[in-house]
Amino acid sequence: MNYAETLQYLYAHLPMFQRIGPAAYKKDLTNIRALCAHLGEPHTRFASLHVGGTNGKGSVSHFLAALCQLAGLKTGLHISPHYKDFRERVKVNGRYISPARVVAFVEQNRAALDAIKPSFFEMSVALAFDHFARIRVDVGVVEVGLGGRLDSTNVLTPLVSVITNIGYDHQDVLGHTLELIAGEKAGIIKPGVPAVIGETHPESAPVFRRKAEETGSELVFADQRYEVVEVSSDWETTTYDVYREGKPFLSGLKVDVAGPFQARNLATTLQAWETFCEHYAGRWGATPAEWSIERLCASPEGLFFPARRLTRFIGRWQVIGREPIILCDSAHNEPALQLLWERLSSVPAERVHVVMGMVSDKDSGQLLACFPPSARYYFAKANIPRGLDAGILRERAAAFGLQGRAYRSVRHALSAAKRAARPDDLIVVTGSIFVVAEVL
């Protein structure tokens, strides 16, 4: 098989959450353990950092991978889902796995894939672990797919476990209370492994403390140690001042990623990096001071953290057009959408045009309540089975005062928004990862 035929086989034979939703979610680790056993337990042959949470886990994973690269480590990164190219899921030092390697993996293991019948995600995790072990990465940064306790990535015993935050998402799979969701996320905390929690919330903090006590794990909450304050920003970069335990720590740290979510994600990253360096820098012959942010991000213009450039970070607060600005952001749950529109409410624009689509297996009412009635809407169905019909979405949106038209595709919706928008307007593409993927 060539690469296109290989992808066709994977899409046709393996259940894919990205396309069909919860029906593809396997609520145990049987398949991934069988695959890893078949492959020679590749997940035990590289050091790892494991990142979960409701929002921000993708950003924190990219940030940690970038810091590992700046420290000179050969760094693997596994994320999900992908936007345009399956190979986005498996990167080493920012480079996608080769098509030839994907083809070889499937050809060499097709009998096992046919016998075990893994989900698409289980296969992609096994592929990433196998690839990282084969090329001997120093460290693999692995993003949890969904939840934590029963996620396929949870066969890892990482150097550090990171949980960004807890919010309402995938309740049909993870539970309908924050305590239940936190319990699923806390499943990635392993015996004796340091754990970093990004945000302290009264509902979830006791869950994490209990789990850490059970496992004998060092536990630290990033927001109790770090405060990250935005100093200035444009559409593509942000400058921060960072305080550690109430004292100035980093002044004027410029990051090539923008958006309202990244201050929190950066705080989580800084604490995770501090924990990693304190415990493990010596493993690679370095000291924590040598891997400090001041050294890694030093540039002639001051502190600069090129996270997007180093890791090919896409889909989050990404500008794909100018005059008018066309902003893509894959916010798709209530906390993320609230932050998105809180920030955009302060952006000077003559008029805001929103290209929006959602998936059918989420509570669209909760999400639609986050959008401003003052914007003009262009409703579309993402080209996946889970996509919510554009006409149905338009009708539901009207109940929240959101007015606009339904279009037969995301691209048609974006074309209509471009025709209607003036140079000083703003076009926002959001509501679903899959909607964003169609315009990148």
187-234 pLDDT per residue, tens: 999 999 999 999 999 999 999 999 999 999 999 999 999 999 999 999
* β-pair type (75-78, 139-143): parallel
- pLDDT band for 255, please (50, 70, 90 cuts): very high
Residues 248, 348 share a domain: no
**CA gap 291, 297 in Å, rounded:** 10
- 386 and 286 in one domain? no
- pLDDT single digits (tens) 65-117: 999 999 999 999 999 989 989 999 999 999 999 999 999 999 999 999 999 99
Helix axes 3-13, 120-134, angle to 10 degrees: 140
Please indicate, yes or no, whether residues 285 and 422 belong to a single structural domain of this protein. no
Kindly state whether residues 10 and 70 are assigned to the same domain.
yes
Q: What is the domain range of residue 385?
A: 318-437
Whole-number pLDDT of residue 308: 97
For residue 389, the number of C-alpha atoms closer than 13 Å in the C-beta half-sphere is 4
159 with 295, same domain: the answer is yes
Confidence of residue 349 (pLDDT cuts 50, 70, 90): confident
Classify residue 376 as left (phi > 0), alpha (psi -120 to 50) or beta: beta
Same domain for 30 and 161, yes or no, is yes
Residue 168's pLDDT is 67
DSSP 8-state class, residue 250:
E
Say which CATH number the domain at 24 has.
3.40.1190.10
Same domain, 46 and 188: yes
Give me the pLDDT at residue 110, please. Answer: 94
Average pLDDT, the chain: 93
Q: Is the pLDDT of residue 120 over 50?
A: yes
**Mean pLDDT computed over 404-425:** 97
Please say which residue of 311, 341, 360 terminates a domain: 311
Distance CA 234, CA 258 (A): 7
Mean pLDDT of 307-319: 96
Do 299 and 396 belong to one domain?
no
> What is the pLDDT confidence band of residue 336, given thresholds at 50, 70 and 90?
confident
Q: Can you give the pTM of this predicted structure? A: 0.93
* pLDDT at residue number 15: 60
Residue 373's pLDDT is what?
95
DSSP states of 120-169: HHHHHHHHHHHHHHHTT-SEEEEE-SSSSTTSGGGG---SEEEE----S-
d(CA 139, CA 158): 10
Q: Lowest-pLDDT range, 18-27, 148-157, 229-238, 278-287?
A: 18-27
* Per-residue confidence (pLDDT) for residue 430, from 0 to 100: 96
Low-confidence winner among 207-211, 291-295, 340-344, 381-385 (lowest mean pLDDT): 381-385
Q: Which is more confident, 347 or 415?
A: 415
State yes or no: pLDDT of 169 exceeds 90.
no
* Number of domains present in the structure of the chain: 2
- Mean pLDDT is lowest, of 11-15, 111-115, 197-201, 343-347, for 11-15
pLDDT tens digits, residue range 44-59? 999 999 999 988 999 9
Residue 301 has pLDDT above 50, yes or no: yes
Q: Which residue has the higher pLDDT, 414 or 20?
A: 414
Which of residues 290, 311, 332 is at a domain's end?
Answer: 311
Q: What is the pLDDT of residue 20?
A: 47
What pLDDT is attached to residue 76?
Answer: 98
**Residue 131, pLDDT above cutoff 80:** yes
Reduced to 3 states (helix: H, G, I; strand: E, B; else coil), residue 201 is: coil
Summarize the confidence of residues 27-38 as an average pLDDT.
93
Q: Is the pLDDT of residue 323 over 50?
A: yes
Q: What distances in angstroms separate CA 222 from CA 162, 201, 370, 381, one per listed residue? A: 10, 12, 27, 38
Residues 306 and 361 in one domain: no
Q: What token pair was written down for 394?
A: 């338009």
Q: Residue 412's domain is classified under what CATH number?
A: 3.90.190.20
Given a cut of 90, whether residue 403 has pLDDT beyond it is yes
Q: Which of 311, 346, 376 is the last residue of a domain?
A: 311
pLDDT > 90? residue 379: yes
**370 and 266 together in one domain:** no
Least trusted range by pLDDT, from 157-161, 288-292, 355-359, 362-366: 362-366
Residue 21 has pLDDT above 60, yes or no: no
Q: Is the pLDDT of residue 173 over 60?
A: no
Residues 201 and 219 in one domain: yes
Tokens of 286: 């370095």
Task: State yes or no: pLDDT of 17 exceeds 60.
Answer: no
Residues 99, 224 within the same domain: yes
Asked if 90 and 140 count as a contact pair (C-beta separation under 8 A), the reply is: no
